Structure 1
Amino acid sequence: MNDSPPSQVGAVVLARTDSTRFPRKVFTDFMGQPMLGYLLERLTHCFPKQQIVVATSDRTIDDDITRFCEEYQVPCFRGDLNNVCHRAISAAKSQGWQWFARVNGDSPLFDESLTRRAIDVCLTKQLDLVTNLVPRSFPYGISSEIVRTSTLERMMPLAEECELEHVTKVLYEHLDSIHWENISLDEDVSSIRMTVDTPDDLRQLTERITRCGVGSSAVTFRDLIPT
């Protein structure tokens, strides 16, 4: 792959097998392959495999994720189920990354151009966080967060116990203490859902991708915004 991000930046994919609303959704069929595989394939358009790590829990139920990563030849890091913040930090540190892109396993439409832009802004300005969520203008499920690993680790003790299941919430609670920047669209399309929380989300998203007439591996969120 050409034009890879600098080696001090990688992608941490948060994924687990069980979900109350949609069990084993990371392995459900999404455009002809397991959703996690679809997401990883899109990620490799931006990051080489050695700059991707899947961070899952250390429970037996998530052994299938580890086996899937072995077959796909990407690293897998296992950690605490509930302290997702620490799991993400540990996964990034295990690879020696100074910054990492937080990627959700149930948001398959990873956007390469948005992430490249966020990485460029973050490294050029040496920021702690680049996000597109404050305020949110992109579709729900199209997020980009580039996080300085050491900053998140430093801020983690400030998080309440209930916040640790969210990787970056502590940063948003203390934005006045970090250097950050937001990326916004010219129009607010945040009401459009492009994530997969439920089987109905899966059905609607795959139908929209099929109707838009763009190849499933090349489709972007812009192709799915109604005109």
Structure 2
Amino acid sequence: MKIGVVVLSRFSSNRLPGKALMVISGKPILQYIIERISQVVDIEKIVIATSLENSDDKIEQFAQNIGIDCFRGSLDNVAERFFQAGKNKNWDYIVRINGDNIFLDINILKDMITIAKTGKYDFITNVKDRTFPKGMSIEILKLSYFESLLQQINKEDKYREHVTLYAYDYPSENNFYYSNSLLPEASGIQMALDTAEDFERTEKIIQHFNGDHFNYNLYEIYNIWKEIQK
């Protein structure tokens, strides 16, 4: 069973251009994400998938600098880019992580990959019903299943842009919905990095860390988040 992680990222973000490489405490945002993922999977099983636009040359250069593979594809057809990045590696399952999910919980990622390794499911996700904070999203798709959806996905812009939306709108019987029962009060809060305000909040949270950032989990990050709201 070959499982790999595709980090979707582009430099030309509409609301916060260049956010992927913005620096907090001496480290680019993408590096925080890669370091979290690499606690769970080997580095050669991680790919940064960006676009062919010139602006994303910076993303490719970053990937090269830290020894991560970079796949470049369509700017607008993100679903196709995601699929091709996984197909290029001949993976059985592809894990989708967005390039603004800086607070990915590595224990949740471990659990969900373990579920994928059973081979029972087409789609494993912790996004349904937003029981986790935004910014801790993890979606894992069987490559053959996702390929079977592409013909329909490619018919509508909304499905091409929002990679997994079709899989939610027309669910398989073999889906696994991973829910947050540990800390329901954290459901749906904004921890993704999408705006300048998000960047300020992210910076404050990271400045509260006393050890390696990747060891901070949902519970600990949520408590810091509560503290900085005061």
Q: Which secondary structure does the structure 2 equivalent of 1:13 belong to?
A: strand
Q: Which secondary structure does the structure 2 equivalent of 1:61 belong to?
A: helix
| 2:221 matches 1:224 | yes
User: Residues 220 and 152 from structure 1, CA distance in 2 versus in 1: closer, same or farther, beyond 3 angstroms?
Assistant: same
| 2:8 matches 1:11 | no
| Contact map agreement 2:101 2:135 (CA 8 A) in 1 | yes
- After the TM superposition, which residues 131-146 of structure 1 pair with which residues of structure 2 at under 5 Å, given as runs? 131-146=125-140
Q: Which secondary structure does the structure 2 equivalent of 1:163 belong to?
A: helix
**What residue in structure 1 maps to residue 34 of structure 2?**
40
Aligned amino acid, residue 88 of structure 1:
F
User: Residues 66 and 209 from structure 1, CA distance in 2 versus in 1: closer, same or farther, beyond 3 angstroms?
Assistant: closer
Number of matched pairs: 220
* Post-superposition offset of 1:125: 4.8
* Unaligned runs of at least 5 residues, structure 2: none
| 2:56 matches 1:62 | yes
**What residue in structure 1 maps to residue 19 of structure 2?**
25
The equivalent position to 2:180 in structure 1, one of 159, 176, 185, is 185
Once the two structures are superposed, residues 35-80 of structure 1 have per-residue CA deviations (whole angstroms, 9 ceiling, x without a partner) of 1111111111111111000000011111111111111111100000
User: Residues 185 and 179 from structure 1, CA distance in 2 versus in 1: closer, same or farther, beyond 3 angstroms?
Assistant: same
CA distance in structure 1 between the partners assigned to 2:34 and 2:209 by the alignment: 22
| Contact map agreement 2:47 2:69 (CA 8 A) in 1 | yes
The equivalent position to 1:100 in structure 2, one of 94, 103, 122, is 94
Aligned amino acid, residue 15 of structure 1:
S
CA distance in structure 1 between the partners assigned to 2:25 and 2:94 by the alignment: 27
* Post-superposition offset of 1:174: 0.9
Q: Which secondary structure does the structure 1 equivalent of 2:215 belong to?
A: coil
CA RMSD of superposed structures (Å): 1.6
After TM superposition, the score normalised by the length of structure 1 is: 0.91
After TM superposition, the score normalised by the length of structure 2 is: 0.90
| Contact map agreement 1:210 1:216 (CA 8 A) in 2 | no
| Contact map agreement 1:156 1:170 (CA 8 A) in 2 | no
* Unaligned runs of at least 5 residues, structure 1: 1-5
User: Residues 212 and 54 from structure 1, CA distance in 2 versus in 1: closer, same or farther, beyond 3 angstroms?
Assistant: closer
Aligned amino acid, residue 200 of structure 2:
R
| 2:166 matches 1:167 | no
**What residue in structure 1 maps to residue 200 of structure 2?**
203
Q: Which secondary structure does the structure 2 equivalent of 1:135 belong to?
A: helix
| Contact map agreement 2:105 2:216 (CA 8 A) in 1 | no
Identical residues among aligned pairs (%): 31
Q: Which secondary structure does the structure 2 equivalent of 1:192 belong to?
A: coil
Aligned amino acid, residue 186 of structure 2:
V
